[in-house]
Structure 1
C-alpha cells in the first residue's frame, strides 16, 4: 500500500507540473484552474482504477494452475485465467465510481482546453481582439496598400514588414502592390520562381525584396485625395480569403464615407465610426484576412501633426473597422514612418485638428473640460480616453492642492433625451471626474459634485463633457 501511495504522489506531482506548464500558456485564469484541476483529478482517478483492475487480474483463484507453470504446460487443457466476471475480477462499486469519475473529468478537461485554445476571443470593445498578432506563417498572399501620396511620409519597408514578406515569398506566395490615392489601383505583382537549391531560393527572395524597394521608391499617387477604405477593399480582393493586408498610410482618408476633413471626425469614437459604416454596408470585405497597420497617424508637411491622443484614437478607429469587418487578426506596428512626402504627388486636403487647450483656473470661474481634454462614451459615464483624462486632471489636481482651492464638478449632457435621464447621467459623469481627482490625491473634502443635465452651459449635440467650477 505504501508503494502505491508513493507512486500516487509522484504521478500526481508530475501530472500537475506537466499540465500546468502546457495549459498556463495563453489561457484565462478560470480556464487555467479548471484545466489543471480537471486533468489532475481525472488522471488520479484513472490511475487508481487501473491499479485496482491490475491487482485483481493478477490474483489467482484457488485451484488454478500456479503462474510458474504457465510457461511449461503439462496438459492440453486450456488454462484458466481470471475474468472480470469471476469473483477475483468483479468490478466493485467503488471501481465503477472511480472509472466514471475519470471519464467525466477527462472529458471536462478536453472540453475546457479545446474552448481555451481554439475558441478564445478578446473583449468586444473599441480596440479589437486582445493580444492578436498576424504571424508571418507564409500562408496566403500579401497585399501592400501603400499611400505614396501627399501629406504622408515616403513609404519604406519596416523590418517587421520585410520579415513578413520574406516568409510569404519563400513559401511561394504572391505580393500585390496597391497604390493608395483617391482611386486606389493595383500597381504590380511580385513573386519568385522555384529554385533548384536552397541557396538560389534565398537569393530569389532577396532579389525580389530589392525589386520591391525600387518599386516603392518610384510609386506615386495618380488620383487626388485618399480613399483608404477602397484601398483595403482592393487588397482584400487581391489576396483572397486567407491572405494578409498591410496598410502603410497615415489613415487620414479625405473622401466620403469617412472624410476626416469634416470637423470632429478625427476624434469620433471608433465604435461610432464602425457602426455607421456597418449600417451603410460600407465596411471593406476583410473576413478571414489578417490586417497589419503601419504608420497610422504619421504625417508629413503640410499636414499638421496629430498629438498622442488623436493618433491613438485614429489607430483605434482603423482597428475597430478591421475587427467589425471580420478580420482574422489585427496587428499594430508601432515603428513610426517619418520623412517628407513624395514629390509631384497630387494634392490631398489637409485635416484641421482641434486646437489643444491649456487648463486655466481662477477663483469663481467655470472651466469646461471639453472634448480636447475629457470626454465620455455616448450615454455613459465611462471616460473615452482614460490616459488623456488622467493627464489633464493631474494638472488640475496640482493646481487645487497648491492653491488650496475647493472645486465643484458639474456634470453635463447634450440636449438629446429625457430630462430625468440627463440629470442622472450628468451626476454620474461628475462623480467619475471627482473619483479621478481623489485618486490623484486631492482631498475629498475639497471636491463636491452634482449633475445639471443640459441646463448649465448647454453643449452641442454629440459632445460628452464635464464642467468644473472653482471656488476660493
Structure 2
C-alpha cells in the first residue's frame, strides 16, 4: 500500500510541477531595411515556415523592426487562442495562422526606412537586444551605406576578408544563442543598379561573416526572391556604384580606338583574377586589332588605399587583360606599353571637398584602358 501511495504522490508532484511551469513562448524577430533602393518585402517560404512552426507549436510573439524612428512597427502576440486559452484544435490553429500571417505580411509590405541610409549592421544590433529572441529573419539587400561597413567608398571592389578583419569585436551585436536567416541579400530596386553575380556573392559572404563573428548559433542565406513590388521607402538613399556590363569602345580618329574595361565587371574584387565570363568578353575585342596595329594598356584605380598597393593592383589587371588577348591570338609585339598608375593620375576627380570618395566617379576610375592604333587602311571595321 505504501508503494502504491508513493507512486500516486510522485505522479501528482509531476503534474503539479508541470502545471506551474510557464508556457513555452517563441519570440521571432523580423528586421527590414526597406529603403528606396530595395523592393517592398514579402515573406519568403522559409520565413512563412518559421512563423508556422512557432505559432502552431505554442505561444508566439512576433516583432518587426525597420530602420528609422520608431524602429518597432509591429509587436504582437500571435498565439492562436480560444478565449484566453491557447487553441489546441489543429484545424482552428491552421485557420488562425492564415489570419496572423496576413497581418505580418501587411506590416512588412508597408514598412519603410526613414533615415536615408541603409544600415543593416545597426539593425542587427537593435534586433540582438530583443529579450528572449532566438530566431531572427533579416530582409535586406545588404548594401550598407553608413558606418564601419559602408560599401560606398569601395563600391563593387570591396574585399570581404579585409572588411571583416577590420571590424572590431566590441562593436558587434551579441547574437549568441540566436539563429539568423538573411533574405534579399543583393536584391535591389529603384535607382540601385543590379549587382554583378560575383559582387552579390560577396555581399552574402560579408553578412554571413558578420553573423558568425557576432557568435550566432546558426547563420544562413535564404536565396528566394523577397520582392513584393517597387520600393516602399521613398527617402532617397545613396547607391553603391556598379558599372554597366561590358567594355566601351570610343573612336578617337586617325585609326585610334580607346577601349575602357571596367574592373568591377571583369575582375574579382580587389584582385587581378577575371570574373566568370570575362574572358569571353575580352575575346570579343580581338577584332579591333588590325594588321600592323599597336596598342598600350594602362590600369587605373579609384583614390582608395595606399598608392603603391593601388599601382600594383592596376598593373596586375593591365597585364591580365593583355595576357588574355595574347592568348586569343593578338600578337605580343602589338603591345608597346603595359602599365598601372593606380590613382596618379585619376581619370576624373573622385574625392569631394570633404575628402570623401564619390562612388560613381570612383567606379569609372577602376578600369583598364586599351588604346589601339591601326593603320588607316588596315583599321578593323
The TM tier, using the shorter chain, reads: 0.5 to 0.7
Evaluate the alpha carbon distance shift between residue 147 and residue 371 of structure 1 in structure 2; reply closer, same or farther with a 3 A threshold.
Answer: same
Structure 1 unpaired stretches of 5+? 1-138
Query: What is the TM-score when the length of structure 2 is the normalising length?
Result: 0.64
1:447–1:294 CA distance, 2 compared to 1 (3 A): farther
Structure 1 residue 337: deviation in Å? Answer: 0.8
Q: CA RMSD in A?
A: 4.3
**Which residue is 2:249 aligned to?**
360
Identify which of 340, 344, 351 aligns with 2:239.
351
Tell me: CA distance 1:466–1:148, structure 2 relative to 1, closer, same or farther (3 Å). Answer: closer
1:332 aligns with 2:222: yes
Give the secondary-structure state (helix, strand or coil) at the position aligned to 1:202. helix
Name the CA distance, whole Å, in 2 between partners of 1:407 and 1:168.
68
Q: TM (normalized to structure 1)? A: 0.54
For residue 76 of structure 2, what is the aligned residue in structure 1? 189
The 8 Å contact of residues 192 and 239 in structure 2, kept in 1 or not, is answered as yes
SS at match of 1:373: helix
1:454 aligns with 2:341: yes
Q: Which residue of 2 aligns with 1:54?
A: none
Provide the rounded CA distance (Å) in 2 between the counterparts of 1:417 and 1:151. Answer: 33
Indicate how the Cα distance of structure 1 residues 224 and 451 shifts in structure 2: closer, same or farther if over 3 A, else same: closer
Give structure 2 stretches of 5+ with no counterpart: 1-24, 81-85, 351-356, 375-381
1:257 to 1:175, Cα distance in 2 relative to 1, 3 A? farther
Give the superposition deviation at 1:457: 6.8
Counterpart CA distance in 1 for 2:267 and 2:373 is: 23
Map of 2:57 onto structure 1: 171
Find the residue that maps to 1:351 and give its secondary structure. coil
Tell me if structure 2 keeps the 8 A contact 1:148–1:154. Answer: yes
Offset of 1:323 from its aligned partner?
3.8
Question: Residues of 2 paired with 1:430 and 1:225: CA distance?
Answer: 35
Please tell me whether the aligned partners of residues 184 and 223 of structure 2 are also in contact (alpha carbons under 8 angstroms).
yes
From the superposition, tell whether residues 292 and 435 of structure 1 become closer, same or farther in structure 2 (CA, over 3 Å): farther
Determine the C-alpha separation between the residues in 2 that align with 1:240 and 1:452: 58
1:269 corresponds to? 159
Matched residue, 1:245: 136
**Could you tell me how far apart the structure 2 residues matched to 1:214 and 1:284 are?**
28
Q: CA separation in 2, counterparts of 1:349 and 1:189?
A: 30
Out of 181, 186, 203, which is 2:95 matched to? 203
Q: Give 1:168 deviation, angstroms.
A: 2.7
8 Å CA contact 1:144, 1:177 repeated in 2: yes
Which has the larger share of strand? 2
In structure 2, the CA distance between the partners of 1:221 and 1:375, relative to structure 1 (3 Å rule), is: closer
Whichever structure has more helix as a proportion of its residues is: 1
- In structure 2, the residue matched to 1:279 is 168
Pair 370,323 (structure 1): closer, same or farther in 2 beyond 3 Å: farther
Measure how far apart 1:192 and its partner are: 1.8
Distance 1:287 1:182, change over 3 A: same
Larger Rg: 1
Does the CA-based 8 Å contact 1:266-1:314 persist in structure 2?
no
Quick one: distance in 2 between partners of 1:455 and 1:179?
42
Aligned residues: 319
